[in-house]
Structure 1
Amino acid sequence: MDLKPWIYIVLLGIAAVLYALMLPKRREETVSSERVVKEVESTLEAYMAEVQNENEQLVELVSQMKQELTAKQQAQQEQVSELRQRMLVAEQKLTESDTRLRIAEDQLTRTATLSEGSAAATSEVEDISPPVPSIKSRYAELFDLYEQGKSIDVIAKNTGFQRGEVQLIIQLAKQEESV
């Protein structure tokens, strides 16, 4: 094959033109890939900023919930303290009521003993000992309310006695009447 030098030059020129045409494509690909990288970076930065903002909101919400929980716990502690105080007061009143009830029972027992003793004694003993007032006379206000048909609770409230005391006094009066 006898190739002439001008063919080499033409072939070499064609190769140079083709290379020159391909070179801008490579530059465009490089520019295009840099653009994609920048877009990805900006998207990631925006996403990270959004995640950070959501995290800050979440931390704020958790701290608010913690404060509300603390406030509720404190309110419940105050309620428990108040209920304990009320329970102590109620226990004291119950103790006082039990004491008054025992005293009333003792007085009733003494009265019943004296009544039995005076029934056996002659009329001379009755003249010597002062008359023992009846339960109805000692608790006139209570029996006025009872005769008006008021409930035990209303009587207890108006007279200042406990409910159990009112019931006991009424029962003692019934026993006294039957004797």
Structure 2
Amino acid sequence: MQPYLQYILLLGAVVIVGALAMPRKKNESIPEQTVQNMETALEQFMENMEKDNAELASLVAKSQQEAKLEAQRKELRIAELERKCEQLAEQLRHSSDTSAGAARQTAHAEPKPGAAVADSVREVPVPAGTPEAAPQSDSIQTRYSDLFRLYGQGKSIEAISKKLGMNKGEVQLIIQLAKQEDAAHA
């Protein structure tokens, strides 16, 4: 045999003898009591998770039901407010028709003997929606010339309201009334 084969065989034999001579480690298995404790803890954890999940599901269902009821209440409230708004609009139309009729009667009334003509014709306030509301000589654009000058310059409603110290809603209303006035005269 060749010398390197002898060394390899000798080395293999030493390794085998050394392995047999070494003490073996005991297989330390996990005690069965510990395994049972872990299984019990895991089961309790799962039960708690299922209980929490059921509570969460009931909370979500309750929240959805409350949201649905709240939405229904709001829809009823909106319907009621719309109905009231329509009633008020009808009352406004009725009162404006009545005011317009009263203004026409006052304008056509005969002056009392001995009284000045100016005293017999009283000014009756006329709502903005009637044709008598805006006589040609005193149009809304002449009454609010500063507002329409700024509007004509392309200023925003917010800028106009700040500049003139008016509310934005008031500025919008005046502009809309002017448009209606222009459409009525066209």
- Please report the TM-score for the alignment, with normalisation by the length of structure 1: 0.47
Structure 1 or 2: larger helix share?
1
